[in-house]
Amino acid sequence: MSEATAQKIPVTVLTGYLGAGKTTLLNRILSENHGKKYAVIVNEFGEIGIDNDLIIGADEEVFEMNNGCICCTVRGDLVRIMDGLMKRKGKFDAIIVETTGLADPAPVAQTFFVDEDVQKNARLDAVVTVADAKWLSDRLKDAPEAKNQIAFADVIVLNKTDLVTKGELAEVEARIRGINPYAKLHRTERCSVALADVLDRGAFDLDRILDIEPDFLEADDHDHDHDHHHHHDHDHHHHDHGHGLKHYHDEDMQSLSLKTDKPLNPNVFMPWLQNLVQVEGGKILRSKGILAFHDDDDRYVFQGVHMMLEGDHQRKWKKGEKRESRLVFIGRDLPEKAIREGFESCIVS
């Protein structure tokens, strides 16, 4: 992480469907004697607060907690409240934005890509989704928001695991992995998870994509760990298309991973990727990749949220390190064939 990035306040977006346990986790953050000061923004976006007992019925409230943390309730402009918090910079270690149970985390995440003032002072750290082990499978069938929240997550807190059987837990984990094979998953009861596992994860830091997500490189193996959890014929749910491309079916939400050990032509790849996210960005929730370009000793890392992309040369390929390119797209109704063919057209033959 660069020094400039390290100076920015890390922001965690906390999401999860109604009743999953976000409030329990927030109350722990706001009350435990952890020695850090967090600012919590409860972002209601004009909706009536149903499942958060921290909310008091005014347009905007700021509460100072006994442990020095701050809790703000926002029903308006997230950028404006972030700006106000930045003026108090130095008074807290991190910011947590809680979205409503019905919210898609993408617009909140995009704030940190598009607003210059926010970008100057804050950095998006990770999207953390709290999921209810007992009811998640039902929610995934009837609530697209629940599916978005799982697909978008860097960390998933699978809560209320004490309310389900081992078989039910295996099934719900298989459903989660069908949507998002790459997030870190923590099984919890009453959201009892080490705060270090959900805060300051650096999931959006290009330098740390691999440090914190070894599964990103080992997705093929990782999926196999869960094969036995599926009670249906797995052949219908999992295909390998060559070049390491895999497709995890979940009705309409998939993750695609692409891989090649041949170098990519940057003059073909970059315009292809830009065009892909412009045309299909509405369907692509998250994208990230580590790229080996032709005649380039540095590896290139990128990540994206919908149509927003950021990328940079990260470091030199190490001696003996396997030079290969890997990309992941998570989204809804992805044009798999077109993406695969486009990627293959970027390979230097």
Residues in the chain: 349
- Computed from CA positions of residues 203, 209, 214, 217, in that sequence, does the dihedral angle turn out positive or negative? positive
pLDDT value for 97:
86
Is residue 348 very low, low, confident or very high in pLDDT (cuts 50, 70, 90)? very high
Is residue 62 very low, low, confident or very high in pLDDT (cuts 50, 70, 90)? low
Higher-confidence residue of 244 and 260: namely 260
Region 326-330: mean pLDDT is: 89
pLDDT value for 48:
36
Choice among 33-42, 50-59, 178-187 with the minimum mean pLDDT: 50-59
In the DSSP assignment, the letter for residue 244 is T
Q: Is the pLDDT of residue 338 over 70?
A: yes
Q: Is the pLDDT of residue 47 over 60?
A: no
Is residue 173 very low, low, confident or very high in pLDDT (cuts 50, 70, 90)? very high
Higher-confidence residue of 37 and 176: namely 176
What is the identity of the amino acid at 281?
G
C-alpha–C-alpha distance, residues 328 and 48, integer Å: 36
Average pLDDT, the chain: 77
Read out DSSP for 93-154?
A: SEEEEEEPTT--SHHHHHHHHH-HHHHHHEEEEEEEEEEETTTHHHHHHH-HHHHHHHHH-S
pLDDT value for 278:
92
C-alpha–C-alpha distance, residues 131 and 149, integer Å: 9
Give, in degrees to the nearest 5, the angle at Cα 143 between 137 and 145: 110
Choice among 87-101, 119-133, 140-154 with the minimum mean pLDDT: 87-101
pTM greater than 0.85 (yes/no): no
Q: Is the pLDDT of residue 108 over 50?
A: yes
Region 69-77: mean pLDDT is: 58
Q: Is the pLDDT of residue 118 over 60?
A: yes
- Computed from CA positions of residues 312, 317, 323, 326, in that sequence, does the dihedral angle turn out positive or negative? negative
Q: Is the pLDDT of residue 226 over 50?
A: no
Yes or no: say if 116 and 63 are a contact pair by the CB < 8 Å rule.
Answer: no
pLDDT value for 55:
36
What is the rounded (10 degree) CA torsion for 323, 329, 333, 339?
Answer: -30
How many CB atoms are closer than 10 A to CB 122? 22
Q: Sketch out the chain's domains with CATH numbers.
A: 3-204 (3.40.50.300), 237-344 (3.30.1220.10)
Six token digits for residue 21: 């346990």
Higher-confidence residue of 213 and 155: namely 155
Q: Is the pLDDT of residue 312 over 90?
A: no
Region 215-231: mean pLDDT is: 37
Yes or no: say if 291 and 300 are a contact pair by the CB < 8 Å rule.
Answer: yes
Q: Is the pLDDT of residue 86 over 70?
A: yes
